[in-house]
Amino acid sequence: MPYQLASPSRLGPGDKIGEGDSELVLNILPPDLVEDAFENMRKEVAWKAMHHRGGEVPRLVAVEGDVAADGSFPLYRHPADESPALRPFSPTVSLIREHVQKVLKHPVNHVLIQHYRSGADYISEHSDKTIDVVRGSKIVNVSLGAQRVMTLRLKRDGIDGLGKGTRRPSQKIPLPHNSMFVLGLETNAKWLHAINHDKRPLYQKSPEERFMNEERISLTFRHIGTFLTADESHIYGQGAKGKTRETAQPVINGTEEAVKLIKAFSKENQRSGFDWEAVYGEGSDVLHFTHTNDTAPQRENLHEAKSALEGT
């Protein structure tokens, strides 16, 4: 059998990544901050297991964000069965956020923090769900600890015309300690991304990959435009039906609305020509995907919609 070049090129700072709106920035944090950041976050962050399709996701997670004076806070919706409650930015994360905002030149008000406990922890291939992400903003992943590889792969429908059986273009971007990967929304629309597990034995790993006992913390900062009121009863903003605080609507749990949002997420994972305005423009007031009063057919519909979702 002819040899196939197995590993796509590795990209880094200065390279055209994805659609060209993405990049890798090295040394994002100053030495005094980065020095103890990992250990501080271990203590300061409220780590939780998260569930998706009934099982635990293979990493620990936490959610922090900007809580307004009236107690309202940003809401980032994605298909997980349950997400940890948002807490105000903890001290070290707050400092990291300041540096990120300076480099990005736009605010970020929400962070998903993930602890990959070893090379066995991973995040499967997905596109970030953008109903709640301020349009035109960028999503960033700050990496601390062991170096892991971000793999981008063109969505399946992005290779039309290249012929059936053509391998989908893919890019590998090693994410070193103290780096920031900037994911532009154009790249997110056309490519899927993943941090695959790395089960190679220790002796095959570089010092960067073995760093911090192979543990990695990533901080995914986003500029979120959808908000929940303090009591979590009402929702408003970009991804909701009521676009302003004054027109906030009661949240919806379960029902056909939940199935509709899950199907929209699925479309975003699969289609590169995803029409944001057509699918998300009207908004959705769904907070939780299930409700104790859901009927059996409603549960079945939701289950089916979730099964059709690839990745997260």
Ligand X SMILES: O=C(O)CCC(=O)C(=O)O
Return residues touching ligand X (CB under 6 A).
Answer: 112, 114, 123, 128, 141, 193, 195, 218, 220
Is residue 268 a contact residue for Fe ion (CB under 5 A)?
no
C-beta of 111 vs 248, nearer to Fe ion? 111
Cβ neighbour number for residue 40 with a 10 Å cutoff: 16
Extended strands (E) in the chain:
23-25, 48-52, 55-65, 73-74, 86-88, 110-116, 123-126, 139-145, 148-154, 170-175, 179-183, 191-195, 216-222, 226-228, 234-237, 249-250
What is the token pair recorded at 198? 């790395």
Nearest distance from residue 279's CB to ligand X, in Å? 19
Decide which of ligand X, Fe ion, none touches 112; Cβ closer than 5 to 8 Å per partner kind: ligand X
Closer to ligand X by Cβ: residue 116 or 289: 116
Report yes or no: 302 and 257 within 8 Å, Cβ to Cβ: no
Q: Give the span between the Cα atoms of 189 and 154, in whole angstroms.
A: 9
**Interaction mask 127-156, Fe ion, x per CB under 5 A:** -x----------------------------
- Taking CB under 5 A as the binding criterion, the range among 12-20, 120-128, 143-151, 225-233 that sits at the site for Fe ion is 120-128
- Span from 40-48, 124-132, 158-166, 227-235 in contact with Fe ion (CB under 5 A): 124-132
Distances in Å between the Cα of 38 and the Cα atoms of 27, 98, 146 are 15, 17, 11
Residue 218 near which of Fe ion, ligand X, none (CB within 5-8 Å, type-dependent): ligand X
Q: Find the shortest distance in angstroms from Cβ 59 to ligand X.
A: 8
Running DSSP on this structure, what letter comes out for residue 286? B
Residue 182 C-beta: closest distance to Fe ion, Å: 12
11 versus 192: smaller Cβ distance to Fe ion: 192
Q: Shortest approach of ligand X to residue 83 CB, angstroms? A: 11
Write down the least CB distance from residue 230 to ligand X, Å: 25
Beta-strand ranges (E) seen in 117-215 are 123-126, 139-145, 148-154, 170-175, 179-183, 191-195
